[in-house]
């Protein structure tokens, strides 16, 4: 066997051990009902709080919102995670929710080797501001591309 064939055999064997090279993409969602913070006095706006377990979010009546939480990665290979949110109205438990916006992603983290990462970000949403009184649900949206766990 020539040296070139040996090198090619080693490279092909390494590629087989690394698993599929095609990147995958996953979207994971989790809904939460709004909990009212009420008026804190002064000029602070009314606020809804959303609890997704490891992730928390809030939306103020002026349209500003924030989401934060730990995102776990359970793979030795790497993936890119994006954390986002969308707001809507629905029945108790957020069943049959109608979402007023597409997911708004505010973080993007490259995670490898079973390492989690804390994601935090926020923005202003005119749509959420305009529909604040009707909103009673939010959905945490986690987008993953690569070796997702």
Site of tokens 């020539």? 2
More confident residue, 55 or 14: 55
Question: What's residue 5's pLDDT?
Answer: 46
Neighbours of 48 (CB within 10 A): 23
Any bridge partners for residue 149, and if so which? none
Interval 20-52: pLDDT, tens: 444 578 899 999 999 887 545 555 568 999 999
DSSP-derived pairing of the beta strands 35-36 and 98-99: unpaired
Question: What's residue 16's pLDDT?
Answer: 39
DSSP-derived pairing of the beta strands 79-89 and 98-99: antiparallel
Question: What's residue 18's pLDDT?
Answer: 43
Interval 73-126: pLDDT, tens: 998 899 999 999 999 999 988 989 999 999 999 999 999 999 999 999 999 999
pTM for the full predicted model: 0.78
Question: What's residue 44's pLDDT?
Answer: 55
User: What residue segments make up the domains of the chain, in order of their start?
Assistant: 23-146
Q: What is the CATH number of domain 23-146?
A: 2.60.40
Interval 131-143: pLDDT, tens: 999 999 999 999 9
């Amino acid at each position: 066997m020539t040296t070139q064939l040996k090198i090619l055999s080693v490279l092909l064997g390494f590629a087989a051990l690394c698993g599929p090279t095609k990147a995958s993409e996953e979207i994971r969602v989790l809904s939460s009902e709004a909990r009212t913070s009420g008026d804190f006095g002064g000029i602070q706006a009314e606020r809804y709080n959303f609890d997704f377990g490891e992730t928390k979010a809030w939306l103020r009546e002026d349209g500003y919102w924030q989401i934060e939480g730990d995102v776990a990665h359970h793979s030795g290979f790497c993936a890119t995670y994006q954390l986002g949110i969308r707001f809507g109205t629905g029945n108790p438990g957020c069943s049959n929710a109608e979402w007023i916006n597409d997911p708004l992603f505010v973080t993007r983290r490259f995670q490898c080797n079973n390492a989690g990462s804390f994601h935090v970000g926020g923005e202003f949403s005119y749509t959420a501001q305009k529909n604040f009184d009707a909103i009673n649900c939010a959905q945490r949206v986690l987008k993953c591309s690569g070796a997702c766990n």
